[in-house]
A and B are shown apart, each in its own frame.
Chain A
Amino acid sequence: MENDLTKGEKILLVEDEETLAIGLEYNLSDEGYIVDWAKDGKQALNLFNATEYDLIILDIMLPYYNGFEIAEQVRAKYPQMPILMLTARTSAEDKVRGLELGADDYLTKPFHLQELLLRIKGMLKRKMWYKSSSESQPVYRFGKNEINFENLHCKNGAKNFMLTQREAMVLKYLLENKGKIVSRKELLENVWHISSEIETRTVDNFISRLRKYFEEDPNTPVYFKSIRSVGYSFNDEK
């Protein structure tokens, strides 16, 4: 059933290695996705500007424009576009740069086919959940804050800023479970779609960022409360 939901989604595959691209295209089509293949940076941007995609698989070392430049341009136009970076570069520096520029996930070559397919499915599912839940309530207000979940623009009094896609997803998940206690494990599994084996500190970092954005005094939070040794809870009702 879940599989059916993501079928027919359009994926832009940006990969200059022809042999790898043929194999990826075959597998993605076999999973029911519609795939367009761009073999260099120029072609990728042309296709992205002409067609609406649900996900982009992006190599970094590309002719004309590299993956980082493409990610930047994609993010500027469409902040919610899920981007999976698929690259031979393994340095932590590259990974951090990719994630900072808005890649949602980063997979290094050589990779396992099943892992790649699962990650793509996870990203598409997250996008669908986010989209359906944002459509029903695109703008949310609490206290002095106003968040537009469609374009990720926020207002805190007179201050304007933008959330990253992941920050918006964490916030959205907490809002959907307003008043309830959400564990770190639950957030990792539902927002990141990864098992809680990785450090739960990732979640703590995101919560402290949200506090900085939306709380008057981040050290004594009113909306984003910590529930000791369990998780977090969001509540804006006084």
Chain B
Amino acid sequence: MKKRRSLLFLIIAFIFAQIAWMGLLGLWIYWYVSNYLMFKQVGNKLSPQIVIDSPNVGIFVIGIISIVLIAVAMFFIFRNLTVQMKVTRLYDNFIANVTHELKSPLSSIQLYLETLSIKSVRAEKQKEFLDIMIKDASRLKKLINSILEISRLEQKRIAHNYHVYNADSIIRQLVSDAAEQFRLSEKNIKIEGELQCKCVIDKDAMQIVFDNLTDNAIKYSMPPVKINVKLSLLSKRILIEHIDNGIGIETKNQKNIFNKFQRIDNKNIPNVKGTGLGLYWVREIIKFHGGKITVVSEGENKGSCFRIELPIYKTSKKFYINKLLRQTARKEKIMENADGE
């Protein structure tokens, strides 16, 4: 509420400042023109032989340009400020979500430890509780790692191990590894199409992409989840379509879902957990690979299709891809030398 009010205040201040500038400009023109007319009349009466110079148009134009520049600059400052405010709001949400996500497994572990220490629990129950605690501890570990990865990602350190692969086999392997991690059977996930080309990929980073897409498909679908991965070639790019039968994404949200900390508020979403970072990572990693990702969804309950485009090796973005390969080779050489020593 407070934030909404301060935004309203900002908008009013901005509009007021613009009106003030324009008003000043209007007054100035009025003053300039009326003075010029007056001088002309008075000058003619007093001494018709005096030739009054036409007004100095140069100064007039420079003045107008300066004021327009100030107004434009103010507009940019205003826009930047509103973007900052939006990021702060999203960051607050992120903190609330992460706190919730961290505290839940922690509370669970504490509850079981206290139960085991206070009560006499049967042996088989004890085993069950210990298993739950191990599961919660690994959830905590995963979450903490993913938070720590933000800074690695920001410094572009998350993807650094690029190699040339056969596109078809590497993408199939990444998809099936993701499926295996989330215990999806062949019934749940299908791969169609073929890619007769090569591409440059950081395998670990790209695994994060497919893990996140698969995880989202599971989270936002009513079981049984059905994922269809279609592989095809565009003129210079590989196209991977990751299609699910989930709850879909409303058109107005499709542009935002890749933003950092973004979470979509929707009553019909059966799962409220998450940090709002998954798809942000996905987009950044694809960008590092010289590709792009978009989402297509016909709307709620109509599933989603994530379209990933990656450059074909030696066909598209040659300079950028070679730079990635050179960087990897240089790093590997340094590592080898370090090992040798």
Contact = CB atoms under 8 A, between A and B. Distances in A.
Nearest to B131: A19
Contacts of A201: none
Interface in A85-129: 88-90, 109-114
B138 to A, nearest CB: 12
Nearest to A112: B114
Contacts of A114: 114, 118
Nearest to A30: B119
Contacts of B91: none
A158 interface: no
B108 interface: yes
Interface of A: 16-17, 19-20, 22-24, 26-27, 30, 40, 61-65, 88-90, 109-114
A90 B269 CA distance: 24
Contact of A63 (B110, B136, B271): B271
A62 B272 contact: yes
A144 B341 CA distance: 95
B115 A27 contact: yes
A19 B135 contact: yes
Interface string B98-127: 011001111110111011001100000100
B272 A61 contact: yes
B115 to A, nearest CB: 6
Contacts of B107: 17, 20, 88, 109-111
B270 A19 contact: no
Interface string B70-110: 00000000000000000000000000100110011111101
A89 B100 contact: yes
A17 B112 CA distance: 14
Interface string B226-257: 00000000000000000000000000000000
A19 B103 CA distance: 12
29 contacts: A16-B272, A17-B104, A17-B108, A19-B105, A19-B132, A19-B135, A20-B104, A20-B108, A22-B132, A23-B112, A24-B111, A27-B111, A27-B119, A30-B119, A61-B272, A62-B272, A63-B272, A88-B104, A88-B107, A89-B96, A109-B103, A110-B106, A110-B107, A110-B110, A111-B107, A111-B111, A113-B114, A113-B118, A114-B118
Nearest to B113: A113
